Chain A
Amino acid sequence: MLVYIVRRLLMLIPILLLVSFIAFFVIELPPGDWVTTYVSQLRASGIELSSQEAQRLSQLYGFDQPTYVRYFKWVQGIVLRGDFGWSFQWGKPVGEVIAERLPITLTISLLALVFSWLVAIPIGIYSATHQYSLIDYLATFIGFIGLATPGFLLAMILAWAANQYFGFSALGLYSTEFLDKPWSTAKAIDMLKHLILPLVIIGMASAGSTIRVLRGNLLDELKKQYVVTARAKGLSEMQLLFKYPVRLALNPVFSTIGWLLPAIFAGEVLISIVLSVPSIGPLLLRSTLAQDMYLTGSIVLILSALTIVGSLISDIYLAWADPRIRYGGLSK
């Protein structure tokens, strides 16, 4: 087991390097760089920057160096000093800008994941044990709608409805009266209220697929002979259900965290933009538009790294929970 974990941890290194390479390649794609964007912005507002001045800026930020040199400098900074580069837009190190907002993104994403399980697991089990019942059809239908409705649309509609029918402004993380107040119970409750909408919307999308996976697996398990045997031996239906088939059927749910996490992070980014939650989402949108390249690249890198670590955890959990997985086999 320990060997397996160490091996997987070691494999993280080349994968993360590859991700950093892709992230950097993506931010290198736009023609020009931050300085040219900045110069044209200044020009638009009537200030003409001399070419020497522009060159000085380029030199200052290292844009005159070839791409691969900058890539190595960037990676070197991250690995050696935890320095993700400089955000031109904010005039602060990228690390600081992200650190302010990453906790909100993480909280919302993880809570949304938990929320989706809380909704999906009971419904999935019920759907499988009561196949073709009304609730089964209803769950399938809602699952489909959850898959088909773009989260940002749902966010818009629900935010509007909350405002229209409850007089509650769902935008942001706090109501305006709490913005500059210190922490208090009232403020915490206010924040929780604002969290409901993003949680439900992000959670619903992944709940839809979880219900389908769980239902399908449980249906397969319930047909197996050990279920018949257990029933013949007189185990009560409840005990029977939760002791064997549900445990087996849940494994794929946890093992697919690796696929769910990217979707959840992506959903969080998009929905935060619509609901103007001060998380990574709006930050990413603004940085991509302004060609604040190190910020964009670092956000893509960090979100991907989190996903990879998340799926690693789920793999380790699976190796521990499911004795059929021979992790030793990987070591040849």
Chain B
Amino acid sequence: MSTQLSERTESGVTGSTPFIDEAEDRSVGSVDERLEAADERFYYANPWKLIMWRFRRHRLAMISLVVLVLLYTVALFAEFVSPYTATWRAEGLQMMPPTKIHVFHEGSLHRPFVYGLEKTLDQETFKYIFTEDTSTPYPILFFTQGVEYKMWGQWPMSIHLFGTGLDAPPVMLFGSDQLGRDIFSRTIYGSRISLSIGLFGVLISFMIGIAIGGISGYFGGTTDELIQRMIDVIISIPLIPFWMALSAALPRTWTSTQTFLAITLILAAVTWTGLARVVRGKLLALREEDYALAAQVAGASKSRIIFRHLMPGFTSHLIVSVTLAIPVAILGETALSFLGLGIQPPAVSWGVLLQDGQDLVAVAQQPWRLIPALFVIGTVLLFNFVGDGLRDAADPYSA
């Protein structure tokens, strides 16, 4: 029995209720044995395991989670992954469309490469036209020497994940902006601020939410009433105007780190209310449960009852709320920076990049300037999918 159990732990979880993949299970043991083993595993599993199993069955949510982890990893190693730095300028290659990557040179298969570009001015429309000089292919190299940078602002390095080297024409996957900076590299660098501001903002609002919601649910009575009315009021203030008014308070002279922290706090200043409500509601409901009374009779201290007995009862809900709060914060940063009230250049975030593309004429002529927007939309969608999957998984009554 025990060998079967360990064998099945991996294969069983992806199947249908109760987490048994029928096709694979047919190979081992009789029907009775199979059911027994499955049941045993199912009934002995702790709630977290159940949530994990259910979550893994949610394919869209799983894929989203993997992509999100990938995005955050890329953001962590932004300097290395991006072929250039956020401020490096390609001489004479302003407003260049995304570089085409070829695999055929003069009819024969070649490793991926780029061609050099020549810029000419169209005399009629006064637009710059880029034409490829197809005489020499410049291969895209991996782990290649490139523009110098400081890894995490500390160690000088010059190795990039990919690139064409310093002397060859640049490879700019998303094109370049009006100063000749690589939009791909800037998007990667920007993801660092945009992705982390969501996490930190929600982390702070999470702490405020738990503290205030906890106080509200724990004390009840007048305190609860006051806090709840306060939350009602804060919720009724339209977010963007409120954020705008708050962020106008930031001195323009602050360093980018200070601004980053301040924006994080501003985002958290409003989003904590939702979490506080969840905590408070759940605390109020759960403290009436028999097991809370039992713990009290057994002589458990109040903090032990709250953290040891009540909290685990709604941690899963909290995780869902947090997951769904992150995209709100990310959108908030983007909107504020877009208006020029958030992150200030030369610091780069997705909102700052979109601010560059604010000009409709620029967008019409250089549509690639809007590519960072796809990252914003994508990230928000991914978080929503993960949140939805978690919500289904955390609901003990769902099938």
Q: Which residues of A contact B (CB under 8 A)?
A: 14-15, 18-19, 22-23, 26-27, 29-31, 144-145, 147-150, 152-153, 156-157, 159-160, 163-164, 171, 258-259, 261-263, 265-267, 269-270, 273-274, 284-285, 288-289, 291, 296-297, 299-300, 303-304, 307-308, 311
B339 touches A26 (CB 8 A): no
The answer, among B237, B339, B360, for a CB contact under 8 Å with A273, is B339
Q: Is B358 an interface residue (CB 8 A)?
A: yes
A153-B376, A163-B364 given as contacts; is B334 within 8 A of A308 (CB)?
no
- The answer to whether A311 and B236 touch across the interface, beta carbons within 8 angstroms, is yes
Q: In the complex, how many angstroms separate the beta carbon of B342 from the nearest chain A beta carbon? A: 12
Complex partner residue of A270 from B229, B240, B327, B384, CB under 8 angstroms: B240
Q: Tell me how far the C-beta of B360 lies from the nearest C-beta in chain A, rounded to whole angstroms.
A: 5
User: Which residue of the partner chain, among B230, B334, B341, B363, contacts A150 with CB atoms under 8 Å?
Assistant: B334
Q: Is the CB of B364 within 8 A of A145?
A: no
The reply to whether the CB of B109 lies closer than 8 angstroms to some CB of chain A is no
Whether A26 contacts B246 in the complex (CB less than 8 A), given A15-B232, A273-B339, comes out as: yes
Q: Given the interface contacts A26-B245, A150-B335, A160-B364, does A18 sit within 8 Å of B233 by beta carbon? A: yes
| Interface residue SS majority, chain A | helix
Question: Nearest Cβ in chain A — how far from B61, in angstroms?
Answer: 13
Q: Are B244 and A285 in touch, CB under 8 angstroms?
A: yes
Q: With both chains docked as a complex, state the minimum distance between the C-beta of A131 and any C-beta of chain B, in angstroms.
A: 15
Q: Does B238 contact A (CB under 8 A)?
A: yes
Nearest-Cβ distance from residue A312 to partner chain B, whole angstroms: 10
Q: Name the residue of chain B whose CB is nearest to the CB of A151.
A: B335
B380 near A148 with CB under 8 A, answer yes
Main secondary structure of the interface of B (DSSP, over half): helix
Q: Which single member of B331, B364, B380 contacts A164 (CB below 8 Å)?
A: B364
Instruction: For the complex formed, measure the closest distance between the CB of A9 and the CB atoms of chain B, giving whole angstroms.
Output: 15
Interface size on B, residues (CB 8 A): 39
Contact of B242 among A26, A159, A163 (CB under 8 A): A26
A18/B241 in contact, CB under 8 A: no
* In the complex, number of A-B residue pairs with CB atoms less than 8 Å apart: 131
**Choice from B235, B251, B335, B364 contacting A152 with Cβ under 8 Å:** B335
Encode contact with A along B355-392: 1 for CB under 8 Å, 0 otherwise. 00110100110000010010011001100100000000
Cβ of B234 under 8 Å from chain A: yes
**Shortest 3 CB-CB contacts between residues of A and residues of B:** A288-B248, A266-B240, A29-B249
Which of A19, A159, A160 meets B236, CB within 8 Å?
A: A19
Chain A residues with CB below 8 A from B331, complex form: 150
Q: Report whether B241 and A269 are in contact in the complex, using a CB–CB cutoff of 8 Å.
A: yes
B251: which A residues are within 8 A, CB to CB? 31
Q: Given known contacts A22-B233, A150-B376, is B248 in contact with A269 (CB within 8 Å)?
A: no
A15 CA to B232 CA, complexed, in Å: 9
Asked if B246 contacts A303 (CB within 8 A), the reply is no
The 8 Å CB contact of A262, one of B236, B327, B334, B364, is: B236
User: Which residues from A are CB-within-8-Å of B230?
Assistant: 18
| B247-279 with Cβ < 8 A to chain A | 248-249, 251
